[in-house]
Amino acid sequence: MAVLPNRESQLLIDGKLVAGSGGTYTTINPATEEVLGVAADATAEDMGRAIEAARRAFDDTDWSTNTELRVRCLRQLQTALKDNLEELRELTIAEVGAPRMLTSGGQLETPIEDLSVAADTAENYQWATDLGYATPQGIPTNRRVVREAVGVVGAITPWNFPHQINLAKIGPALAAGNTLVLKPAPDTPWCAGALAELIAEHTDFPPGVVNIVTSSDHGVGALLSEDPRVDMVSFTGSTATGRAVMTAAAATIKKVFLELGGKSAFLVLDDADLAGACSMAGFTASMHAGQGCAITTRLVVPRARYDEAVEAAAATMGSLKPGDPNDPRTVCGPVISARQRDRVQGYLDLAVTEGGRFACGGGRPADRDKGFFIEPTVVAGLTNDARVAREEIFGPVLTVIAHDGDDDAVRIANDSPYGLSGTVFSADPERADRVAARLRVGTVNINGGIWYSGDMPFGGYKQSGIGREMGLAGFEEYTEIKAIATAAN
């Protein structure tokens, strides 16, 4: 792999690293606003070639049935990623603005380790289930159910955790026997381009099995939803874009996986360690500048201790000054772009208009004239009806809301179009379990438990998506079920 700076990434189409027909476009360091380098800029024609290559590789080779080859290729990719770990770390910090500390976890190292889950699952999976002999309608029959690959998968991914989300789609989809076209976000093309290089140069993936197409044009990715040669689209991003993906996919009735937005609630019950819980909520909301769909951004606390809760959250968030993501002590780096910074600032301005106040933060840090930074901000004085409490902001913003007991806390948490994640803190584990069971969400953290792991399913209820990523459920998203009945003699 080339070293920073002056990197130039390419497309991976049909097993070859190639230039984009649209030339190149620049990628920016969000912490400094400096141009890092360029990435291949694909056109609709390039995407068409990638889809055709994936279609051919699925239809005309034994990839979908050769489990041994699939496992070997995934393990080769994992080895190549580990061998280039330090360069990938520097690239991720520079392009994503990800704090260095997070690259030891979900930003880089953990998703690389989790490739083993996909490979192991494919290697040990029970592809066929014998249902035995029966006489349906009086006819002696031997029956079995088999799992098969869906076909060509179009994967569309965002910029906030590019390695985690790219690999969470690539690993299971390929392990299950599909071929794939990945369209990453325009903001982070290098992360995907590095993956393309490693696949092309260090693995035995056959041509066309995995294709990676970077482009500054979101419309190029939209082609994956529309093209009849694509059997499934796997999308992670905003709920608004997810609706568009689902609408476009409806024309060909293709399978759709959607992991979308969130406005998750952090419930502090009246017997909890209030200061400790609110401090954790503030830390969580500040990580990676709040750019995580499952981050808890509504802190729901007992009304009688509201001011104390606001003070505790603000003490933590106010101490987490936005900083250089290269610094190993930094928790809150920049947001990805000027556009995103302005969007977050628009919500902060709206918070004031809606009657809220800032217990800390509220805008751009005074000591940073470069970079797309926003101060970690605690918003107080609003109810769950405020737009700032209902809409996904994707910045380091925590809204504190009062509750009047467990039932009210659950009501507030569930009073949202989203249902991705949630947290419950209580001194009584059984009470916490009862509250967690009532939350209409896909993941729950009780008293600081960690649900993020390659063998755990991730996804949401309601407008947070359809289906699950990771774990056995995530692997099976990329399969179809076939029932086979053979007449018995």
Query: Where are any strands of DSSP class E within 29-81?
Result: 35-40
- Output the pLDDT for position 1: 56
Q: Is the dihedral of CA 285, 234, 126, 72 positive or negative?
A: negative
Side-chain half-sphere CA neighbours of 288 within 13 A: 24
For the chain, the structural domain boundaries read: 8-260+464-485, 265-446
pLDDT tens, per residue, the chain with 489 residues: 554 545 789 999 999 999 999 999 999 999 999 999 999 999 999 999 999 999 999 999 999 999 999 999 999 999 999 999 999 999 999 999 999 999 999 999 999 999 999 999 999 999 999 999 999 999 999 999 999 999 999 999 999 999 999 999 999 999 999 999 999 999 999 999 999 999 999 999 999 999 999 999 999 999 999 999 999 999 999 999 999 999 999 999 999 999 999 999 999 999 999 999 999 999 999 999 999 999 999 999 999 999 999 999 999 999 999 999 999 999 999 999 999 999 999 999 999 999 999 999 999 999 999 999 999 999 999 999 999 999 999 999 999 999 999 999 999 999 999 999 999 999 999 999 999 999 999 999 999 999 999 999 999 999 999 999 999 999 999 999 999 999 998
The rounded distance, in Å, linking the Cα atoms of 80 and 121 is 20
Give yes or no: 259 in active site.
yes
Catalytic residue among 95, 109, 197, 259: 259
For tokens 């569309």, name the residue. 156
| DSSP track, 383-452 | -TTSHHHHS---SSEEEEEEESSHHHHHHHHHSSSEESEEEEE-S-HHHHHHHHHT--SSEEEETT----
CATH number for 8-260+464-485 (one of 3.90.280.10, 3.20.20.210, 3.40.50.10490, 3.40.605.10): it is: 3.40.605.10
- Output the pLDDT for position 3: 47
CATH number of 265-446: 3.40.309.10
Angle between helices 274-286 and 306-319 (to 10 degrees): 40
The rounded distance, in Å, linking the Cα atoms of 122 and 174 is 9
